[in-house]
Amino acid sequence: MKILTTAQIQQWDKYTIENEPINSYDLMERAAGILWERILEEHDTLLHSGKPLYIFCGMGNNGGDGLSIGRMARQSGINALIYMVFYSDTLSPDCDRNYRLLEDSGDIMPLCHSNDLPEITQGSVVIDAIFGIGLNKYPDEFTESVIRHINLSDTYRIAVDIPSGLFADIATEGDAIVKASVTYTFQTPKLAFFLAQNGGYVGKWEVLDIGLHSAYIQELDTDYYYLTKDHICSLLKTRKKFSHKGDYGHALLAAGSKGKIGAAALAGKACIRSGAGLVTMMIPECGYSVIQVSVPEVMVITDDHSDYLTFSNHLNLSQYNAIGIGPGLGMNPETQNFLREVFIQMPMRSAPSIVLDADALNLIAADMETRKLLPENAILTPHPKELERLIGKTSDEWQRLLTAQTFARENKVYIVLKGAHTQIITPYGETWFNTTGNPGMATAGMGDVLTGVLTGLLGQGYTPLQACLIGVFWHGLAGDIYAKKYFGEEETLIASDVIACMPKALKEIRGNSNPLL
């Protein structure tokens, strides 16, 4: 699904008004009505606790949404206290219309100075409708005091479209931003929702379809997308009845060093679980027995050196459809030579598909000559610190994303930046954000499993982009299924649990199974 900029969303509103057709006020009323229905559905107990509902409205269209919600709340018999935050001289036309409907009945309270701020009842619900996605400058001192007052209240906070004070598609500095418990956003998530630095402000988020004209987005070009189950399902291949293991590729995993053979084992098991027809593991001699026992489905090549990988056995890469390098690899100089020799061989292969993770990335970052040999279309899977070693330090996550995009374009590689909403950055300027996974996956071995999955998918003939999209979504969903199975106890999740849940996750993607059964 597409993620749009503020300008594109505003243009979408305009397109809908002109082509549905519908006037802007009625579109505002429709959006507010859909949002209010969702709030009632999800938070009925809180709203009927006997405590007031506090609604803080700004002077633009986001404030107009809030005023409309306040009117609907009162019509539902809820004690809604509606406050108008006056931070400029004029209201937007549609906001003004809603303001006058409430002003005539005396149902709205103006806030003009810090000493006007109301006492907010503990345990109540606050709806934030001060600023919307059109915000392009930092709040003034008074409005900042309103936002801080809301944040200091012991309440459940609901943001309308976007938390007030947060910029939708550029970096936001400071903390004069409403810390929402949940954000209900219209039609499409905003780019800011996918950056970790904003997680404490956005809270949980949910997209509400307010009926903007579908023809506009179908024709629209964008550089940002987020993953959905339907899209991933459309990418999956179906196995033919009379196929054999040779039809599903031969993947090579080069991994492990003394003390880190477990990383290689996790990658190998995930690779075979992802559907690769054949998997060969190249490991140092010290890991031979471990791999043969823990992953009997794979074949094993051992390096002449006992503790780490070298290029001593002159590996022939032409027989493999995909290669994964990195889990538990170590940073030995001879391993650096091994990686460099693999890169030198890559152009001679007919289908260069390679995944680089962990110490493979650290070896690339540590040696410019190795970096110059980086194969085109390689998939790099760094966590934030590994990415920093490759691209340098950046001032914030937005700048990091832009710098990573430049690196991907210049080196013609794919970057899978691991974390909440893992970012898949392509050589063509596109960035995809994942929507599966949970904090329980912040534990050792998860990246090794992902490397195995990506390598297995590449081996089966998926393109690098398809492998990234499917692999990241599938990997995260398997973690989510484990968390659901154990009632949300994410702390108990370990990497091998993700591998065990991959079959259920795949069935859920295909839509033919209850993932909890």
434-451 pLDDT, tens per residue?
999 999 999 999 999 999
pLDDT at 12: 98
Least confident range of 6-20, 57-71, 309-323, 443-457: 309-323
* CATH assignment of 2-222, among 3.90.550.10, 3.40.640.10, 3.40.50.10260, 3.40.50.300: 3.40.50.10260
pLDDT of 315 above 80: no
| Domain range summary for the chain, segments of one domain joined by + | 2-222, 229-510
The proportion of the chain whose per-residue pLDDT surpasses 70, expressed as a percent, equals 97
pLDDT at 515: 43
DSSP labels, 245-311: GGGG-EEEEE---TT-HHHHHHHHHHHHHTT-SEEEEEE-GGGHHHHHHH-TTSEEEE-SSSSS--S
pLDDT of 312 above 80: no
Among 150, 132, 166, CA closest to 60: 132
pLDDT at 516: 43
pLDDT at 517: 43
**Distance separating alpha carbons of residues 213 and 211, to the nearest angstrom:** 6
pLDDT of 393 above 60: yes
pLDDT band at 475 (very low <50, low <70, confident <90, very high): very high
pLDDT of 129 above 60: yes
Decide: 295 and 268 in contact? Cβ < 8 Å: yes
Least confident range of 312-321, 381-390, 481-490: 312-321
pLDDT band at 105 (very low <50, low <70, confident <90, very high): confident
Q: Please give the average per-residue pLDDT across 456-465, as a whole number.
A: 97
What is the CATH architecture of 229-510?
3-Layer(aba) Sandwich (3.40)
The mean pLDDT of the chain is 94
Looking at per-residue pLDDT, the higher value among 446 and 114 belongs to 446
Residue 376: how many CA atoms within 13 Å on its side-chain side?
10
pLDDT of 247 above 90: yes
250-267 pLDDT, tens per residue?
999 999 999 999 999 999
pLDDT of 110 above 80: yes
Record the pTM: 0.95
pLDDT of 391 above 50: yes
pLDDT at 504: 96
**Distance separating alpha carbons of residues 6 and 11, to the nearest angstrom:** 9
